[in-house]
A and B are shown apart, each in its own frame.
Chain A
Amino acid sequence: AQSVAQPEDQVNVAEGNPLTVKCTYSVSGNPYLFWYVQYPNRGLQFLLKYITGDNLVKGSYGFEAEFNKSQTSFHLKKPSALVSDSALYFCAVRAPFDRGSTLGRLYFGRGTQLTVWP
């Protein structure tokens, strides 16, 4: 079964400092991995994805994520945090195409609330 863990409910960081939001996953086969961001009372917005290739993936708003197969992790990072980065962040995993499976379904973590203080 597919699953995602975000071990921290909350991450606090000062503006200008680097930030990391952690994510580990469990999936059969090679995973498709995603990060989404949610602002209050809004839908989720896509940040970045890993399907194959370079382990370091660059996404929107200066975010990047590093895929580590041996540690089954996909941590979200940003070199210099902004107050406007404060939001709820979700990691998600999707199993590769498998005829007869729940094709297309993403499994989400519980979310990590990021607060960047001035």
Chain B
Amino acid sequence: DGGITQSPKYLFRKEGQNVTLSCEQNLNHDAMYWYRQDPGQGLRLIYYSQIVNDFQKGDIAEGYSVSREKKESFPLTVTSAQKNPTAFYLCASSKGSNGYTFGSGTRLTVV
């Protein structure tokens, strides 16, 4: 079955450490997105990519970085510059005028 896979499900980060969240899709979708979810704040867009080797900043890109070397993959790195990284991170993909297909999320906690 086609889908979008995020890993790991839970991730713990020490102060000053960079961590990378994985997002892989086999839906042949062109566009991919990263969102951050905090309680009571809905979904906030971090980065998005419409084609391979191209991506744009969303609303809260500071402290994050991405790459899009393959159509199937859109990893997100949470850098040490992100001062409040504890959150639930959601990856999504889309094609054409359809809505998004979401992954099951990664919960990142600073320890």
Contacts and interface: CB of A to CB of B under 8 A. Distances in A.
**Is chain A's binding surface mostly helix, strand, loop or mixed?**
loop
A43 B103 CA distance: 6
Contacts of A92: 99
Given A102-B56, A105-B45, A41 B102 contact: no
A49 B99 contact: yes
Interface residues of A, number: 25
B43 interface: yes
B78 interface: no
A108 B99 contact: no
Contact of B105 (A32, A42, A97, A110): A42
Given A42-B105, A43-B105, A102-B56, A110 B41 contact: yes
A106 B100 contact: yes
A46 B50 contact: no
Given A104-B31, A105-B48, A110-B40, A41 B105 contact: yes
A8 interface: no
7 contacts: A43-B105, A90-B43, A97-B97, A104-B48, A104-B94, A105-B48, A109-B42
